[in-house]
């Protein structure tokens, strides 16, 4: 029997065994790790994220994944000063009055990922195309497509935020702080994003700013200096993550000013092994204690 045929038979048996969206995620997990996910006794990072995706769906999870409603949560945690100024909110892109918006801004949908339009110069914006694209995004149910169920419980809307204080969008460094049971364990710097796919290059650092080799693809020759307000970013991440077994806190640090990006509960579609090695996933899984959420 050929390897490809064996693989297809394993996938088919997995789908029959699990069924539904769990099968889709489990197939992705198997594709990247060559291991079947153990969802009854999860051990790896990916297995535990898949378990949380199926069994841990409190109201606050959808609220904090909502790029609009999360602002209220951030304020409640005493972090209003890191919010990017809000310029407008709409349920239909046709209602956007572009004349009221500044020369530079960002348009984004609140209910998914990669639904952003960066506008560094309003005079160059194709407004008709922007309206069309935004209204198409509003129709997308990411929860059904990806199996990340909390996204299906978000009411789709469009928000406009101020453009971050940089010359070019490519100058922005995205600090993604991965927090496990309220403890920041590592920081991923995302840089040099593809303008079409928005996929970034990544590097990983410890909270002490030591390089960590956990990615499948890692630029070993490049090193970013420690940001001056690293301790403040870690305190913010700890504060924002204390209610969750796992969450990724995305922050920007521009001219020593900290800005909030988003909260993410299912990085890489709840299968982080897409980007991380299987050995890293096993190590990271040890940081995530599910005993409390399982007990509840």
Examine the pLDDT at 12 and tell me if it is beyond 80. Answer: no
Cα within 13 Å of Cα(60), Cβ side: 12
Percent of the chain with pLDDT over 70: 91
pLDDT recorded at residue 2? 43
- The residues pairing with 184 across neighbouring beta strands, listed in sequence order, are 179
Give the mean model confidence (pLDDT) for residues 68-95: 98
Closest CA to 236 of 99, 34, 77: 77
Task: Write down the pTM of the prediction.
Answer: 0.90
Does 73 score more than 60 pLDDT?
Answer: yes
Coil/strand/helix, residue 262: strand
At 61 the pLDDT is 98
pLDDT of residue 222: 85
Q: Measured in whole angstroms, how far is the alpha carbon of residue 168 from the centre of its chain?
A: 22
CA proximity to 249, closest of 180, 192, 199, 162? 180
- What value does the mean pLDDT take over residues 35-43? 92
């Amino acid at each position: 029997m050929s390897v490809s045929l064996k693989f297809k038979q394993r996938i088919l048996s997995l789908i029959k065994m699990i069924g539904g969206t769990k099968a889709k995620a489990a197939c992705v997990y198997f594709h990247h790790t060559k291991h079947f996910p153990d969802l009854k006794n999860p051990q790896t990072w990916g297995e535990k994220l898949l378990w949380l995706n199926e069994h841990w769906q409190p109201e606050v999870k959808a609220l904090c994944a909502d790029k609009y409603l999360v602002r209220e949560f951030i304020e409640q945690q005493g972090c209003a000063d890191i919010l990017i100024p809000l310029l407008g909110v709409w349920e239909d892109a046709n209602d956007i009055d572009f004349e009221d918006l500044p020369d530079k801004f960002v348009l984004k949908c609140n209910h998914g990922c990669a639904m952003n339009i960066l506008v560094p110069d309003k005079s160059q914006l194709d407004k008709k195309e922007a309206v069309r694209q935004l209204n198409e995004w509003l129709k997308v149910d990411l929860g059904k497509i990806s199996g990340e169920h909390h996204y299906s419980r978000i009411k789709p809307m469009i928000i406009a935020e101020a453009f971050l204080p940089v010359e070019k969008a490519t100058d922005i460094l995205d600090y993604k702080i991965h927090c496990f049971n309220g403890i920041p364990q590592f920081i991923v710097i995302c840089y040099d994003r593809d303008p079409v796919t928005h996929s970034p290059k990544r590097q990983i650092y410890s909270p002490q700013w030591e390089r960590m080799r956990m990615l499948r693809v890692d630029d070993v020759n490049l090193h970013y200096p420690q940001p001056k307000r690293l301790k403040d970013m870690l305190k913010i991440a700890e504060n924002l993550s204390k209610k969750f077994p796992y969450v990724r806190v995305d922050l920007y640090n521009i001219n020593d000013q900290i800005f909030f990006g988003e909260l993410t509960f299912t990085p890489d579609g709840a299968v982080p092994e897409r980007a991380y090695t299987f050995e890293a996933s096993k190590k990271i899984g040890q940081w995530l204690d599910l005993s409390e959420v399982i007990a509840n």
